[in-house]
Amino acid sequence: MAESATNSVQNELNNANSGRNELNNVANGGNNLDPLFVSNSDNPTSSLVSVTFSGTNFIRWSQNVRRALIAKNKDGFITGLTSKPNESSPDYLKWTRADYMVMSWILSSMNPQIADDFAYVSNSVELWQELNERFGQSNGPLIYQLKKEIDSLRQENLTIIAYYGKIKRLWDELKSLRMTPSCCCGALNKCTCQFVKRLADIEAEDKLMQFLLGLNSGFESTITNILSMEPLPTINRAFSITQQIEKQKEISGVLEIGESSAMAVHKYNQGMSAAIQRFQGKKDWKKEKLEKKCDHCKGKGHTMDQCFKIIGYPEWYTAVKGAKGGNGGSTGGNRKFAPMFMLIIMDIMILHWIMKIIQIVMITNR
């Protein structure tokens, strides 16, 4: 008897502990399957999505908001499935608290100026309905704009990852606006010609062509290889192939830049050597001329067989001599040196423009 009484007391203690644990789980968020449950960590000023609603991105934004509310088990507040209880119901206050929390989350996920327009909406259902009426019903202009963006989209300076991500977002947004009709009569269930699969293949082929048409001209050989495959690859497979080619081009591009730089330096060194040799040649010629001495007139710069006093003065000599005498002897040396100096300057300028042209060619070939 004493042993059975002890066991009974122990069982009661265990039940009490389990009940206490259940209460702790509820307090700590363990009962979050209840749509009316609001955790202590829930903040009404928190945004449900990373990109706020700006007035033009309603389709993408609304889908992200719905995903976030489904994850929190609160999507029934915007669809009306979690209906408002009577004021006499014990769940009325909990429902009101949870509904206000959902409204605050949605408004915090919007541009503040747009959110101010919905400050006096009474509940989440009305808020969501009004948002859909204002921004979600005009599908015609949105479809036109999306189609226009898809047709005009080009890779240009984008990487393959960025380009594919951009065009895929446009495809997904267009698909959300134009939902594929479903069969209600059940005829497709008896179809044996794979009609639905053919429609899906046509849509996939259109997307593949749109993706390939937007690639840069450097992928022409890759596009030819992809189109020659039988059957045509999926869009994800084409993305993988072009991404690999892009990585190979990046590696080969680095090597080409290194080789071009080495060639440019080599040409620059050759040009500088030629300019120096030309300048030194001018100096050697002048030195050689000054070393000559005439035995007849004892003058420098010529030999006796070149002496004008023996062979006679030419007609131009008198004019040149008169010009030198009128301008003074101090400028004569500068005039002799000026042509050589100008040649050096011209050589340096030519080399500078050669380097500029090489740089432009390197950038164009990337």
**Are 125 and 102 a contacting pair, CB within 8 Å?**
no
Q: What is the pLDDT of residue 273?
A: 62
Residue that has been written with the tokens 């698909």 in this structure: 175
Closest Cα to residue 103, out of 83, 133, 72, 126? 126
Looking at the domain assignment, is residue 118 inside a domain? yes
pLDDT band, very low/low/confident/very high, at 175 (cuts 50, 70, 90): confident
pLDDT surpasses 60 at 317: yes
Q: What confidence category does residue 172 fall into, taking pLDDT thresholds of 50, 70 and 90?
A: confident
pLDDT band for 16, please (50, 70, 90 cuts): very low
Residue 9 lies in a domain: no
Is residue 11 situated within a structural domain?
Answer: no
Residue 5 belongs to some domain of the structure: no
Type of residue at 33: L
Render pLDDT for 84-117 as a digit per residue (tens, 0 to 9): 899 898 999 999 999 999 999 999 999 999 999 9
- Among 135, 150, 165, the domain boundary falls at 135
The verdict on residue 23 lying in a domain is no
Q: Indicate whether 114 and 52 sit together in one domain.
A: yes
Q: What is the domain extent for residue 226? A: 139-181+190-233
Residues 174 and 225 in one domain: yes
Structural domain total, the chain: 3
Query: 224 and 172, same structural domain?
Result: yes
In a domain, 66, yes or no: yes
pLDDT at 68: 92
Q: How far apart are CA 100 and CA 112, in angstroms?
A: 17
91 within a domain of the structure (yes/no): yes
**Mean pLDDT value across residues 234-261:** 75
Asked if residue 357 and residue 257 are part of one domain, the reply reads yes
User: Looking at the structure, do residues 214 and 288 belong to the same domain, yes or no?
Assistant: no
Query: Angle of helix 58-71 relative to helix 124-135, nearest 10 degrees?
Result: 160
